[in-house]
Structure 1
Amino acid sequence: MFSEDGSGLMPARRLLLIGLVAGFALFVSFAVYVYQGELTTQLWKPALDAALEKVHLRRLSNQNSSSTSEDDSPHPMPFNVTDPLSGYVNVIKDREPLKMHCNVCAMVSSSGQVLNHEAGAEIDKAECVIRMNDAPVTGFEKHVGTRTTIRVASHTSFQFVNKKKADLLVKNKGLTLVAWGPDHSMKTDGKGRIFNGLSKLAKELGDDIDVYMLTPQRMAYADKVFEKETGKPRQSSGSFLSTGWFTMILATEMCDQIKVYGMISDEYCKAPNAKPVLYHYYGTSKLQECHMYRAMEKQKKGGHRFITEKKVFERWTKKHEITFHSPTWEPKV
């Protein structure tokens, strides 16, 4: 570069000044760049933190799954590995949550299938006998046995159980009643109709019965298991879970061995020689089981997926000691 008079190179001090100005400009540009980068990071930080938290939780879940053997895991996605029965709480606040373990459980279906067999004596030999909803014993002893350890009831059937409590509950001292239902019916603030009824029943029968209900987290878990096993969200698929679904989950969490009575396979109703039976072994309804199952499976909204559930139960025999009796059949999985 030349001086203003064209006599030669620019004086050194002017060159130095230009260098300082250029350096300062670069410094300012760099500072602005860094600031904008920090600002952008701050704006995105909540989203980044949330994403990292999800990755962390997924990693922990994978670690838990890998450290838990199949035999120890109630399902592919256990509710609680260390405390499988958490989420079943007593309706009386000062009483302990459900704590029960049985070596052998007899899970008795309400299906008319049980009337084709006289398995009552065999059922009574089980350490724990599990029944559902308002399925009776009186008058059907040779088919379904005489003992009841646990009765699992839905929010829709509780009124019938309560109405027949002298026969279904009082006769069995020390009985455990487990009730499930949607959150609005189980509210503990005085607005939950079913919870209010359960509390009244528990106080009325005193120490002769323990009454438990599923927490909202437990209810959500049942939905998640359905979605995990079927690939379909329960609500958007128009499905209602059956009492059998909740009962089988409970049984896999508290029983070493489960003997299921009166439950058919998912293929049974397809057989041309399938013997027609009643949907329920009790009551006055003449509704046939397979007709009910097929209709419910096709119903687009509000239908129980009985056949789908039984297919899932069959898969669970790979993880649990589950056998099917009255009728007896072998899982194909």
Structure 2
Amino acid sequence: GEPALACCEPTALYRRAVYRRNASEARALLDSLPPQLEPAAGWPARPRHASCAVVSSASSLLEAEHGAQIDEHEAVFRINRAPTAGFERHVGVRTTYDWLNSGPHTTSVYAEAILPRVPLPVDAPGASTTLLHGTTTAPVERGSYSRVLEWVEGHVRYARYHPAKAAARTRLVSLEFLHASWDAFGAYAAPFLPGSARGVRPSSGWHTARLALALCERVTLYGFSLDSAVGNTKFHYFDSLVQATISEAMKDPLAPGTHKFRLEHLIYANWTRHGPLSGRVRLVT
């Protein structure tokens, strides 16, 4: 059966010392880059947005037409440059924030796929999407956040020399936020993962959902599911460089692998049912 997940927003149960390595070096690099997205950590005194949609990249989104509903939210979060063109009925067209897992994008294949797509759908004339540069590797693990900073620096240079193509704003997700997000994942997952669960880390979707909770009064999560009513096994709703299909093994919340997607989805569902988040979070699968 599915594990009975902890019902409430956890305090930090543990931190690994590796989170703090190279922290001073990373902070020094921040000075030459765009400003960090607030809040740095915790919840802001007043949410920036009244209502937010967080849209996954799951293929199950193609089984419903939530596009118009998604676009009605004050802010729309997307993940890793998921496209909207051709999928508008299912995922909408607006993009307010786009989380980038910048670590992998240091490689040329990802950079070539992403940099030419810097212009993003706009909400209205003069509006633009904010790119949120973060990472799913342990913050400040040796070299990891430095790679993120290098990639963002490259993005800044690209925007400087190609202003017509670089309509999107760029923000760094703060180290404080990443620490808090990792701690929350660890607090939820630790009771269900054997030992130190070495190599397991929260997904981009996890960090995006947490960021929406920090910035929004109400959050609706769309498509955070590996299940399909029609037997669809495609991983993303678009053709992806990451992974082609969903395996049956992935549907086990404790299945081996870097990301525990099913476990995360169970946590999201639990947010809607129990504790202080139950009145703020809605899940549409």
Q: What is the TM-score with the length of structure 2 in the denominator?
A: 0.68
Return the offset for 1:108: 0.6
The structure with the larger Rg is 1
Answer yes or no: is 1:98 the counterpart of 2:31.
no
Q: What residue number does 2:216 align with?
A: 255
After the TM superposition, which residues 73-112 of structure 1 pair with which residues of structure 2 at under 5 Å, given as runs? 75-77=9-11, 93=32, 96-99=35-38, 101-112=48-59
* Structure 2 alignment gaps of length 5 or more: 1-7, 13-26, 39-46, 161-165
Q: Percent identity?
A: 22
1:213 paired residue among 172, 175, 182: 172
Which aligned runs of 4 or more in structure 1 are off by greater than 6 angstroms? none
Aligned to 2:232, the other structure's residue is in SS state: coil
Return the offset for 1:171: 4.3
CA distance, structure 1, for counterparts of residue 246 and residue 134 of structure 2 = 23
Compared CA separation, residues 308 and 296, structure 1 to 2 (3 A): closer
1:276 paired residue among 232, 235, 243: 232
Q: What residue number does 2:44 align with?
A: none
CA contact (8 A) 2:95 2:120 kept: no
Q: Which has the higher helix share?
A: 1
Aligned to 1:106, the other structure's residue is in SS state: strand
CA contact (8 A) 2:219 2:282 kept: yes
Aligned to 2:52, the other structure's residue is in SS state: strand
Q: Could you report, residue by residue, the CA deviation over 1:82-123 in whole angstroms, capped at 9, with x for unpaired residues?
A: xxxxxxx99564754324711111111100011111221221
CA contact (8 A) 2:132 2:172 kept: yes
CA distance, structure 2, for counterparts of residue 225 and residue 208 of structure 1 = 33
Compared CA separation, residues 216 and 96, structure 1 to 2 (3 A): closer
Calculate the aligned-residue CA RMSD, in Å.
Answer: 3.3
* Structure 1 alignment gaps of length 5 or more: 1-73, 79-88, 328-333
Answer yes or no: is 1:164 the counterpart of 2:103.
no
CA contact (8 A) 1:245 1:309 kept: yes
Compared CA separation, residues 165 and 246, structure 1 to 2 (3 A): same
After the TM superposition, which residues 182-197 of structure 1 pair with which residues of structure 2 at under 5 Å, given as runs? 182=137, 183=140, 184-185=142-143, 187=145, 192-197=146-151
Q: Could you report, residue by residue, the CA deviation over 1:13-68 in whole angstroms, capped at 9, with x for unpaired residues?
A: xxxxxxxxxxxxxxxxxxxxxxxxxxxxxxxxxxxxxxxxxxxxxxxxxxxxxxxx
Answer yes or no: is 1:294 the counterpart of 2:251.
yes
Answer yes or no: is 1:149 the counterpart of 2:106.
no
CA distance, structure 1, for counterparts of residue 218 and residue 31 of structure 2 = 30
Q: What is the TM-score with the length of structure 1 in the denominator?
A: 0.59
Aligned residues: 232
CA contact (8 A) 2:36 2:173 kept: no
Compared CA separation, residues 307 and 121, structure 1 to 2 (3 A): same
- What one-letter code is carried by the residue in structure 1 that aligns with 2:189? T
